[in-house]
Chains A and B, each alone.
Chain A
C-alpha cells in the first residue's frame, strides 16, 4: 500500500467520515497507510491572505522518510544520531512496550507479559519468540511507561514521521532501546479506530484557522550556574530557595541531594516576549542583590561546567505542540543558536539539546527544551523569546525545514557551524516575511546579524557583565 491522498474537506457526517477514512487508510491485511497527503485547494492555502507554503502541514509521514526506514541500517543510524539507543544484536529485554503514536499524542500502550523467571536461551539456537502483549489501561499512573513513552515519541520525531507504531524494550539497569519504528503498522480493530480518529481530528484542526499569536502565552525558565574564582561549582541552594521566582533546578551535586547547583529563573508568563525579557532581567537583578557578597562568576550557555548541562527552556500555552511546530522551533531557533554557541557546548548534545525536545506542563501548555541557556547576553535573550513567539504564532507559514536532511541534522549535533550558517540568510528572510516581524524588527535583526557575523559566545565569561548587573553596573554607563 502506497501513500493515500485525502481531501481536506469532509462533507459527510462524522460516522460516515470515519467509515470512509477506514476504507481508504486501512488495507485488506489491516495495515495502516504508510503516508497520507491532504489535498488542498488554492482557497485553503491562502488563509487570511497569507501564503501557507509549509507543505509539511499537509503531509503526514513524508514518503521519502518512510522509504528510508525500510533499511534497518538507516533506521538505526537515524535514531542513533539523535542519541536514541537502538536494539543490539541480541534482543533480550525484561519487558517490551508497543506505543501507537500520532505526533505528540500516544494513542495506546501495550506491554509484553513480564518474565519473572530467567531462562537460559543459548544464543545459537535463539528463535525470536512471539511475545504476548496486553493493553495498559492507565498508562499515566505508571512511572516506567512515562519514561519509555517519552523515548518512543522522541524516536518517532527523530525518524521524521508523524504517526506510527514504536516498539521499545526495557533491559537490565532500566535501559531503554528502540526495536522498531513502523510507519505502516498492522492494526487490530481498537487501534484502527484510534488511528483513524487521530487523522480525522488532525484534518479538522487544519480546517480551522490557527491560534492567533496574540493569544499565545510565553514563559521561560533559563538557568545559570555560579562558580568560585578558582572555578569550582557553588551550591546555589545556599542562597536561593528551591521553589520561587529565582529557584534551583532539581539536579543535585555530589551525594547530598539537597545541594542544588543550578539557579533557575522563573519569570511570570506573559503574551509579550519583550515584557518577558524585562522580567528575566528583573529576576537576574534580584539574584544579583542576593549574592552580591559572594565572590563568584555567573555562567550560562550550554555546558559551562562539565557534567552540568544547562538549558533555556521556553514555555508556551494556548497552543498545542504539534510536530510541525516543534520542527519550526528546531529550524528557526535551535539551529541559529548552534551557529553562535561556544564550541564547548556541543557536548551537551545529544543527551540534552536534542531536536524536538518538549515536555507537557501541568498548566496545560508545553515547554520547548532544546535550546541552551541564552542568558549569555540581552540580545540573545530578547532574540530567543521574540523568535519563539513569532514562530509559535506563524509556524504554518514558515517555508524551510533544513533539519529534515540527515546531513544538516548531523551538522547540528556535531556543532558544524559552517554547514548551518549557510541557512541563516534564508531563515532570516523567511521570518521577515511574516506580519509579526514588524513589531519586533529590531530584536530579530540584531539577533540574526549577531549570528550572521560569525560571532560565538564564550561561556566562561560572567554574564553579569553583558547585563550590566552589579557589581558591573557602574562601568561605562
Chain B
C-alpha cells in the first residue's frame, strides 16, 4: 500500500518533553563527634543547604551539603555554645517513569527539594563520645529531554472531514481490532450459563 493512500498520515516531530520523573523521601542518621565537656544537647538546626543533581544511568543523583548546628551546654549546664559541622550527602532518586527513547545528551535534570533537610531528633551517646542526629528531606526530580513524538496529521483540509460521519469511522476501527480466536466463546451466550 502506498503511503499516500492512508487517510491519516503520521509524522514524527521533535519535542522537548518530560522524559522521567521520580520522588524520594529520605531519612538518614549522622554521627557527629561532640566537643569536649559537652553536658547536654539543647537543640539542633540545619542550615545552608546546597545541592546539585545529575542523571546517573536510569536514576538521578543529588549531591549536596548542609551545616548541622548543635546547641549544647557544658560544665553542668552553666554555659552554652554552638558547634557547626558540614555534612555531605549523595542520594540516588529512582525514576518511577522513564522514557528510554529520549535523545542522549539532551537531557536536563530539574530537582526540587520538597522538604528541606530538617533535624527530627538528636541524641548524645551514653559515653558522650558521639551525637547521633536524624535528618529528613525529600526531593522531586524531572528529566527534560528531546524526544520524538508521533502525531497523526490530516493531509486533507479539516473542512473535508466535516460532512463525514465520524462515528462510522470510529466503529470501523473498533471492528478491525477484534481478535477472532476462540470464536466459539460468545460472551453474551456463554455468560448466562456459567455456573461455579
Contact = CB atoms under 8 A, between A and B. Distances in A.
Nearest to A116: B118
Contact of B196 (A116, A119, A174, A377): A377
Interface stretch (B2-10, B160-168, B179-187): B179-187
B187 A118 contact: no
Contact of A120 (B43, B94, B182, B194): B43
A85 B41 CA distance: 30
B128 interface: no
Interface in A57-100: 94
A289 B40 CA distance: 69
B136 interface: yes
Interface string B146-188: 0000000000000000000000000000000001011011011
Given A119-B43, A120-B42, A473-B185, A173 B27 contact: yes
Contacts of B194: 281, 378, 466-468
Count chain B CB atoms within 10 A of each CB in A172, A286, A377 and give the residue with the most.
Answer: A172
Interface residues of B, number: 35
Interface string A280-294: 011001101100000
Contacts of A450: 196
Contacts of A377: 196
Contacts of A255: 94
B165 to A, nearest CB: 22
A285 B182 contact: yes
A269 interface: no
Contacts of A468: 190, 194
B121 A118 contact: yes
Contacts of B118: 94, 116
Contacts of B181: 289
Contacts of B25: 174
Contacts of A286: 179
A257 interface: yes
B141 interface: no
Contacts of A373: none
B185 A285 contact: yes
B196 A466 contact: yes
A394 interface: no
A393 to B, nearest CB: 23
A119 B80 CA distance: 14
Q: Do most interface residues of chain B lie in helix, strand or loop, or is the interface mixed?
A: strand
B121 A378 contact: no
Contacts of A289: 179, 181-182
A379 B191 CA distance: 11
Contact of B119 (A118, A278, A281): A118
B18 interface: no
B182 A117 contact: no
Contacts of A473: 182, 184-185
Interface in B7-49: 25, 27, 40-46
A11 B196 CA distance: 56
A172 B181 CA distance: 55
A258 B21 CA distance: 13
A172 B96 CA distance: 24
A118 B43 contact: yes
Nearest to B184: A473
B179 A116 contact: no
A277 to B, nearest CB: 7
Contacts of B133: 118
A470 interface: yes
Contact of A285 (B43, B98, B187): B187
Contacts of B95: 257
A457 to B, nearest CB: 9
Nearest to B72: A120
A94 B122 contact: no
4 tightest A-B CB contacts, nearest first = A378-B194, A118-B119, A377-B196, A118-B44
7 contacts: A116-B116, A118-B120, A120-B43, A281-B187, A288-B182, A289-B179, A378-B194
Given A255-B94, A282-B187, A473-B184, 19 more contacts: A94-B118, A117-B44, A117-B45, A117-B119, A118-B119, A118-B120, A118-B121, A143-B114, A172-B136, A257-B95, A257-B96, A277-B191, A278-B187, A281-B190, A281-B191, A281-B194, A377-B196, A450-B196, A470-B182
